[in-house]
Every structure is written in C-alpha cells, then in structure tokens.
Amino acid sequence: MPPTSRPAGRAPAEEAAARGRGVPATPVRAALALGLLIGFYLLAVLVLVAVAALDVFLARGPGLTVVAVEGWLGSLAIAWCVVRVVVLSRGRPAGRDEIPGLSLTPQEQPELWRRLRDLAERVGTRPPARIQVIPGAGAMVQEDARWLGLVAGERRLFLGVALLIGLPEDELDAVLAHELGHYAHDDTRLACLLWALRSRLLHTVRTLEHRAAREEAEQQEAFAARAARRRAAGKPPPVKREPTRGPDHYLALVFSAYARLCLRLTEAVSRREEYAADLVAARIAGRDTTAAALRRIPALEAAHDLYLDAYALMGWEAGLLPPEGQFHGGLALLLADSARRAELEALTREPLPEETSEERSPYDSHPPTADRIAAL
C-alpha cells in the first residue's frame, strides 16, 4: 500500500485506537520491516568489506609470509561462505504453511457470515473472503498480499471450533472485531515483509549451523578413524583436541545475533498491534465483554484439550472415534453439562498464569493476557 493511502472507510477512531498503545503508523512499520530485511544483506556486505580490509592490511605487511597466506586463505573461505549461503542459496520463497481447516461457506453458515460482514462494516475494513474452522480455541487472520504488501490479496479468517461452540455471542463478536482490527491496521499486509525477513534469516542461520555441525562431525570421525588405526598398529591413541571452528560457525553467531535483534524489534511491534486490536474489540463489543472473552479463551482451550484426551480419542487404538461429521459434537455436550460449565466458570476467575509469573520474554508476539485485560 502506498504510504499515504489507507483502507476506505476507516474511522478516525480506528487510527486513534491504533495509536492508543503507541503503535507506529503503517509507513513506519513497513519501513522498519523493510529496513531490517535490507540490513540482512548489508550485514553480509559488511562482512565481505571487513574481510577485504583484512586482506589489504596483510598485503601491506613485510611480504609473503605464512601468516599472510593463512589470512588470505581464511578470508577467501569466509567470503565464499557468505556468498554461498546469503547470495547463491536462496532457500524457499518467503511464505506460509497452509493451515488445515474446514471452510464455512455463506450458504452453510449465513448467520456467522452476516455477523462478520456487519462487524467489518463497523470496524471500517474489508471482510475476509474465507472462514476456516480449526481445532482449539485460537483465532487468527491472514492476507495473501503481494509485492511486499503493496497489493491487497484474499483475506482468510481462522476460528477455533471451541470459540464457536463455547463463546457467548457478544464475546464472539469481541474476538471477531479483534481480528478485523488487524485488517484495519494493515497488520496482515505488513506480515508479508516479516515473512520475507524471517524466512531469509531462518534459512541462513540454519544452513550455517548445519554446515558447522557437519564440519565438526567430520573432524570427530576423522579423529576416531585415526585413533582406530593407531590402536590397530599397537600405538597409543592421539591426544584428543577440540574441533577447529570453521567460518560457518562464526558466521552463524553473527547472523544469529542479527536474527535475535530483528525478532526483538518486530515482536515488540506485534505486541503493540495486539493492544490496538483489543481497543477495536472494546469499541465494538464493549470493554468488559472483551476482557471476559480474553479470560474465557484459556478455559475453552483447556476444555477442548480435556475433550480430546478424555473423551473423543479414548478409543483411538481400538479404532473407535466419534461419528463422521460429529467429531466435536461431544464438545458442545461437555460445555452444556452443568458440572463442567461450573468448572470452566471457576477457571475464568482464577489468576492467569502471567499474573503469577514475573518472566516476560522479549520474543513473544502477544502480550500476557493479564496485561491486555489490565489495559482494557
């Protein structure tokens, strides 16, 4: 999307909500993601420049010495590793794995689609083209944007089956409004840049680590073979030494450090996006309703896991499963049971795990639920 444009119909209150927790504007977030992606290649260039500078320094020395030759050979090895892994080895294209789920058409679920389109109009954004039901009590949105998010694409909404079965209608509206808020704030478009950045970093770091581990294994195998030959000849085994670290090992450390920096920066923005989407949900469904939904979702996740472990999959080894098309039908019965419902209501009143833990990871994409409720 061009920096000066925004989705048609976005209300000023939407932009105020996005700024409510300090979420940077869309152009700023896009510039951050693009800058980090460019920085990945600049890091490779800086490594090559440093290697070239070292070669120049060695060339100005007293002449052709063993140290100079070893330095040139080491520089050549490092340069080749950088070119091979960063430039020549492209890896798979940045993208996403397909999420398995059951598609819900407007003909099959007209009421759900009507509610979703009404909420999208109130939020001021384009509704998704597809709804897919997935296991569990999670929800997420995707957009198949192209050209690094400049061209809009098909939107998809993924809803956990436990949410559809167990949430009251007003709390389900809060969940749907939250996800639509991600569309309204261009979060799904910017995700294309983040996928490109993370896939490139992940491929590079994994390749370097794999090559470093393979080199270390080859050295250990060579040592073991040499020791076996000496024992066969009646000689004492050689003194074992630590494997020699090659350029792949040190390059992996460099790019791993840059990957951690990128994750810290981008996940910090992602957490702010969650707060902004919560504000959209609060404006549409109400503050207390949104907070209640956040508290109920972990309980529904626990109920879903209980249903799978203690009910639906009990007869797995005997080939006994719920009837086709009714796999989660028993979950509705479990949630309708008065005793089980009382247990779930008690769970929603218990302290959340984050409220009893002081640990906060800078690499979490979502803020702690307790913090989100406190913000509401």
Residue 58 vs residue 107, higher pLDDT: 107
At residue 71, the pLDDT reads: 66
In the predicted structure, residue 229 carries a pLDDT above the cut 60: yes
> Is 2 inside any structural domain?
no
For the segment 161-193, what is each residue's pLDDT rounded down to a tens digit? 999 999 999 999 999 999 999 999 999 888 888
In the predicted structure, residue 312 carries a pLDDT above the cut 70: yes
- At 216, list the tokens: 């270390």
Contacts of 129 (CB under 8 A, 6+ apart): 154, 155, 156
The answer to whether residues 226 and 344 belong to one domain is no
For the segment 42-98, what is each residue's pLDDT rounded down to a tens digit? 998 898 888 888 777 766 766 666 556 666 676 777 788 888 777 655 554 444 567
The answer to whether residues 217 and 307 belong to one domain is no
The answer to whether residues 153 and 199 belong to one domain is yes
The answer to whether residues 91 and 169 belong to one domain is yes
Range in 118-127, 199-208, 262-271 with the lowest mean pLDDT: 199-208
> Is 272 inside any structural domain?
yes
> Is 22 inside any structural domain?
yes
At residue 89, the pLDDT reads: 57
At residue 353, the pLDDT reads: 67
In the predicted structure, residue 351 carries a pLDDT above the cut 50: yes
The answer to whether residues 186 and 160 belong to one domain is yes
Give the number of other CB atoms < 10 A from CB of residue 230: 13
The answer to whether residues 214 and 342 belong to one domain is no
Range in 17-21, 35-39, 60-64 with the lowest mean pLDDT: 17-21
> Is 65 inside any structural domain?
yes
The answer to whether residues 178 and 126 belong to one domain is yes
Q: Are strands 130-134 and 102-104 parallel, antiparallel or unpaired?
A: antiparallel
Rg (CA), the chain: 27
At residue 11, the pLDDT reads: 45
Q: Which residues of 135-174 are buried (b: 16+ CB within 10 A; e: fewer)?
A: bbbbbebbbebeebbeebbebbbbbbbbbbbbbeeebbbb
The answer to whether residues 236 and 252 belong to one domain is yes
Range in 37-46, 79-88, 218-227, 338-347 with the lowest mean pLDDT: 79-88
The answer to whether residues 241 and 295 belong to one domain is no
Confidence category of residue 290, pLDDT binned at 50, 70, 90: very high
At residue 262, the pLDDT reads: 94
The answer to whether residues 204 and 326 belong to one domain is no
The rounded percent of the chain whose pLDDT value lies above 90 is: 37
At residue 1, the pLDDT reads: 33
Q: How many domains in the chain?
A: 2
At residue 157, the pLDDT reads: 96
For residue 158, list its beta bridge partners: 132, 140
In the predicted structure, residue 357 carries a pLDDT above the cut 60: no
In the predicted structure, residue 116 carries a pLDDT above the cut 90: yes
At residue 12, the pLDDT reads: 46
User: How many alpha carbons fall within 13 Å on the CB side of residue 355?
Assistant: 10
Report the predicted TM-score, pTM, of the whole model to 2 decimal places: 0.81
The answer to whether residues 258 and 323 belong to one domain is no
> Is 304 inside any structural domain?
yes
Task: Please report which residue ranges of the chain form alpha helices under DSSP H.
Answer: 12-20, 26-59, 66-82, 110-123, 161-166, 169-184, 187-232, 247-285, 287-307, 329-336, 338-349, 369-375
The answer to whether residues 278 and 304 belong to one domain is no
At residue 76, the pLDDT reads: 79
Mean model confidence pLDDT for the chain: 83
> Is 6 inside any structural domain?
no
143: part of which helix (H) or strand (E)?
Answer: strand 139-143
In the predicted structure, residue 148 carries a pLDDT above the cut 70: no
For the segment 195-214, what is each residue's pLDDT rounded down to a tens digit? 888 888 888 899 888 988 88
> Is 1 inside any structural domain?
no
Tell me which residue range forms the domain holding 294.
289-365
> Is 145 inside any structural domain?
yes
Q: Residue 356 carries which DSSP code?
A: G
In the predicted structure, residue 360 carries a pLDDT above the cut 80: no
